[in-house]
Amino acid sequence: MIIIQLAGGLGNQMQQYALYRKILSLGAEAKLDASWFDSSAQRNVYAKRALELSYFKELPMEFCTADEKKRLTGGTGMAAKLSRKLGIINTKEFTETGMYHDDLLSKKDCYIKGYFACEKYYADILPELRRLYVFPEAVDKTAEEKNEGFACEVASDKENGVTSVSIHIRRGDYLDPENAALLGGICTKEYYDGAVSAVRTAIGADRKAVRPVRGNANTTDDQNGAKLHFYIFSDDAEYAQKLHFGEQNEQNTVVYWNNGRDSLLDMKLMSLCSANIVANSTFSFWGARLNSDPDKTMVRPSIHKNTQVCEPALMHDLWQNWILVDPKGRQV
């Protein structure tokens, strides 16, 4: 049996669940362990986490029993820790230490811990995951109305030859000194400028905007023909309101209304856009992954953490169909 620990925020939980579904697809027995959310593991966590996977509608999950976990890990408590240290108990545990482990999917009897952000593990089952991750309606009815309006606006963009682009800016817990040292300085102004340029090039937006006119051939709108409409998502809406992406005549809309338990719905809205510019955040990774548009454009930072050294050939292998941009705004 394979048991995968669920831990961290929603994006990480979705990656752990994706690995779980991948292992099941290979015919192996797999279960999930959610005990992290009830343990002392979160004592020193800056932002406390809940089992947010449960917010999705009828997401199929099978959890391990305490005895099943103990068989692989040797249990908890001082006696168990001492027994492991002395070699009295032989555990069957695996902890992620790198971006990708070639042998991970071939393990047969193991307790697995990690975040598994690397898309190569489960890229082939993303269509299945898009079907399984069914978002709930917003608890806040006003937010639900705005979300419906957002979907209509994105559809209108497409009808009028405008490309909708989601941009995610992660602040919040990333401003905590410890997190800033590990995760800060990656999604710089230069990164976002470079990402916007990459999207513009990918969709050929250097051409003049074409505005469909009912009853006539398409005409070129030189004055108001913005090709890109940027939808800005951030946990700091006040900060996001001060920003502007793209050309002066290109529209920027800050999405600010999904808060608290409704925050995960920002991910759904990101997935509706034609292009996704993500932060070094698994939350926005999933906004792009859940985008079912076969012609979508996805841009991510060349590194996720400051401890990582970008190896372009490796990154393009592990993150296929993504455009990679470094903190200086250069494509790699």
Determine the Cα–Cα distance for residues 331 and 155; give it in Å rounded to an integer: 29
* 91 CB-near residues (< 8 Å, 6+ apart): 72, 73, 74, 84, 111
Q: How far is CA 320 from the centre of its chain?
A: 15
| Averaged pLDDT for residues 269-278 | 98
Residue among 194, 192, 226, 197 at smallest CA distance from 209? 226
Give the span between the Cα atoms of 170 and 103, in whole angstroms: 32
End-to-end CA distance of the chain: 40
* pLDDT tens figures, 308-322: 889 999 999 999 999
pLDDT digits (tens, 9 = 90+) for 84-138: 565 656 789 999 999 999 999 999 999 999 999 999 999 999 999 999 999 999 9
Q: What is the CA radius of gyration of the chain?
A: 22
Work out the pLDDT band at 226, boundaries 50, 70, 90: low
**In terms of pLDDT, which residue wins out, 213 or 63?**
63
Average pLDDT of the chain, as a whole number: 89
Q: Does residue 234 or residue 225 have the better pLDDT?
A: 234
Contact between 208 and 222 under an 8 Å Cβ cutoff? The reply is yes
Task: For residue 285, give both structure tokens.
Answer: 């990774």
Cβ-Cβ contacts under 8 Å for 300 (sequence gap 6 or more): 278, 280, 285, 288, 319, 322, 323, 324, 325
With b for 16 or more beta-carbon neighbours within 10 A and e for fewer, the 67-79 pattern comes to eebbbbbbbeeee
Strand partners, 168: 233
Provide, rounded to the nearest whole percent, the portion of the chain with pLDDT above 90. Answer: 77
pLDDT of residue 137: 96
Domain range annotation of the chain: 2-130, 141-325
pLDDT of 186 > 70? The answer is yes
- The more confidently predicted of residues 127 and 220 is 127
The structure tokens listed for 12 are 């990480």
pLDDT of residue 53: 97
